[in-house]
Structure 1
Amino acid sequence: MCTLTWLVTPEGHEVFFNRDEQKVRPQAIPPTWDPALKAIYPIDTQGGGTWITLTQRGEVFCLLNNYQAAKHFSAASPVLSRGSIIPTILKLDGPIDARAQALPLTRLAPFLLCYFPAHVQDDRDIQVVSWDGLNLTTQTAVSPITSSGVMLKEVRRCRQESYQRIDGHRQGHLTYHQSHYGHPSVHSVCMHREDANTVSLSHIVVNAATMQFDYYAGSPCQNMTPVTSILSIK
C-alpha cells in the first residue's frame, strides 16, 4: 500500500511518496548515493532493492505494487524482487516504455512504475508503466496514484477525496501525506493497520537551482524531521 502525488511549478517539479509496509519488515536504509548508477535512493534491507530514486540527471522513478492485477500473474520461473526494477532500469537507455520492455517481465509480479523526466513542463510529461502479469502498458500519470492490498476501491476513493481538498502547494501535499481522513485507518494516506502502516515519506524537489531528496523515516504523522540529501546542480 503506497500513495504517490506530485506538484509541477514554473520552477520544476516535486514528488511526494508514502511507502506502506508490514510492521515486521526491517527498516530501510535512508537514501544513499550509488556512484555506479549515479543516483540516490533508499534501500530495502529485505529485498535489497528500492522503490524511489532520484538520478544525477534529475529523473525520478517511483515503484508501486500492482496488487489489483495480481490475479493475472502466473510466474513460470522464480519471482524476482520488484525492488530490482529501478536499479535495472537505470542501467538501460531510451524511452521509459522501451526500458521497461527490456525487463525480465515474466519473472516480475505486477507493478506500477511512475517516471518523471528531468525536465517536466506539465503533467503530460509524467508517465506510468503498468505490468499486470500479461500486458505492459504506458500512459500519462494522474495524481494521486494509490496501491493497496486490501479494499482498493474504498481506499482509493477516500484518498482521492482527501486529495481534492489540498491547497496545491508544497505544504498542502506534505499535509496530505500526513493525513488520516478523519482517523488513522487503512483508508488514510498516512496508513495505520494492525499489521502494517506507513513506514516512510519521500519528498523530492527538482528545479534549476537544486535537486533535493528529503526522507522521513517512520509514520509521517509522527516524524517530520527528514534526512536530507542534495545532489549537485545540473
Structure 2
Amino acid sequence: MCTMTWWTDAGPGRYSVFFNRDESKKRSIAEPPAVFEEAETGTRFLVPIDPDAGGTWMFANEYGLVVTLLNWYDRELPDKNGGAFESRGLLVKNLAGNRNVSDLRKALAAIDYEKYRPFHLLAFSPEEISKWSWPGRKTNQQGLIGEPTLLDRGTPEQPVSSSSFETEQVLQARREALLAANPQSADDLEAFQNNFGEPSTAFTPRMNRPDAQTWSRSRVDVSPEIIHFRYVVEQPNHEGDGETLESSLPRFEHRVDATEADSVGGDEAG
C-alpha cells in the first residue's frame, strides 16, 4: 500500500526520491527520520523507524545510496511452518552500510530470502537505479518451480506502487494518474505524490480507506554535498495539514573534509 517515484534530471550526482507509506490504521505511528550509524562500517544514514518491528521502509545514507521496500501484496503468503517470517523492514535497515548499488547487489546475493514475505526492493545511487523482486516462492527467471531466486528487474518504470486492495486496478489507476500529470520536474512529481483526490480513495497516490491510509510522505533530495529528507506526518483520515519535518546529512566526502579541517584547526590552536 505504497507509491514511489523519482526524478533524476536535476544535474550530475543529483536526484530525488518520493515515497508515500500506506499502512493500517491500527499500526503504530512511525518515528520520523533520524541519523543512525551502521555498527560494522560506521556509515551514517537517515532513516524513519517502524516501532512495531524496529525496521524501516527506506533509508538514505551518506554515500548517496537510497533504498526502499514495498510489500508484494498479491504474492503474500501465510506464516510458514515452524514460525513466522522475519521483518522485511529489518532487512532494509541492515543494508544501510553499503556504499552503492554494486555493493548492495553483492549483499543481496548472500541473503536467505526464504525468511521473508514477498517484496520489491529499489536502490538509487548517483550512478545507477535498480529494482529486485522476491516472489516468495521457489521460481526461476521463467517463473517455473526451481531454486529460490531474487529476480533482478533492472531499471524500473514509474510509479512503483503496491496495494492490498484490488491490486491491479489500484496500480493501473496510479500509472494512469502519473501519465496524466506528465511531470516536468521534481516538484511536479511531489505534487503527484500529494494527490489524494476529492474525496481521497484507495486508488489515489495519497490514499485513504476505512482500514488504511497514507501515513507519511517522504522526499529525499540527494546532491554531491548533502542528503536532505523532508518527511510529512499525516493526520488520521487526512483531516487537516500534516506535520512537516526536515533533516539532513552531509555526504561522506564533505564529512571527512570537515573532520580534517577541525583536526588541523585544533593543532593550530594548541
User: What SS is found at the alignment partner of 2:54?
Assistant: coil
Verify: 1:111 aligned to 2:119, yes or no.
yes
Look up the match of 1:126.
129
Distance 1:106 1:77, change over 3 A: farther
Distance 1:216 1:75, change over 3 A: farther
Verify: 1:232 aligned to 2:250, yes or no.
yes
One of 68, 93, 97 as aligned partner of 2:105: 97
* Contact 2:170–2:203, Cα closer than 8 Å, also in 1: yes
* Contact 2:45–2:249, Cα closer than 8 Å, also in 1: no
TM-score (norm: length of structure 2)? 0.78
Alignment of 1:201-212 (within 5 A): 201-212=217-228
Look up the match of 1:39.
45
Structure 2 residue runs of 5 or longer lacking an equivalent are: 138-148, 254-270
Structure 1 residue runs of 5 or longer lacking an equivalent are: none
Alignment of 1:3-82 (within 5 A): 3-11=3-11, 12-36=14-38, 37-70=43-76, 74=80, 77-82=83-88
Give a deviation string over 1:66-95, Cα, whole Å, max 9, x none. 112225995665310111111222346754
Aligned residues with identical type, % of pairs: 27
CA distance in 1, matches of 2:152, 2:81: 22
CA distance in 2, matches of 1:215, 1:192: 18
* Contact 1:178–1:189, Cα closer than 8 Å, also in 2: yes
Distance 1:57 1:29, change over 3 A: same
TM-score (norm: length of structure 1)? 0.89
Give a deviation string over 1:173-204, Cα, whole Å, max 9, x none. 11111113553111111100001000000100
* Contact 1:178–1:221, Cα closer than 8 Å, also in 2: no
User: What SS is found at the alignment partner of 1:79?
Assistant: coil
Verify: 1:188 aligned to 2:196, yes or no.
no
Alignment of 1:140-151 (within 5 A): 140-151=155-166
Which moved further from structure 2: 88-97 or 3-12? 88-97
User: What SS is found at the alignment partner of 1:89?
Assistant: coil
Paired residue total: 229
Which moved further from structure 2: 53-62 or 74-83? 74-83
Q: What RMSD, in angstroms, separates the aligned Cα atoms of the two structures?
A: 2.2
CA distance in 2, matches of 1:5, 1:222: 24
CA distance in 2, matches of 1:16, 1:48: 22
Note the C-alpha offset of 1:223. Answer: 3.4
Residue identity matched to 1:138: D
Note the C-alpha offset of 1:32. Answer: 1.0
Residue identity matched to 2:54: G
CA distance in 2, matches of 1:16, 1:68: 23
* Contact 2:68–2:122, Cα closer than 8 Å, also in 1: yes
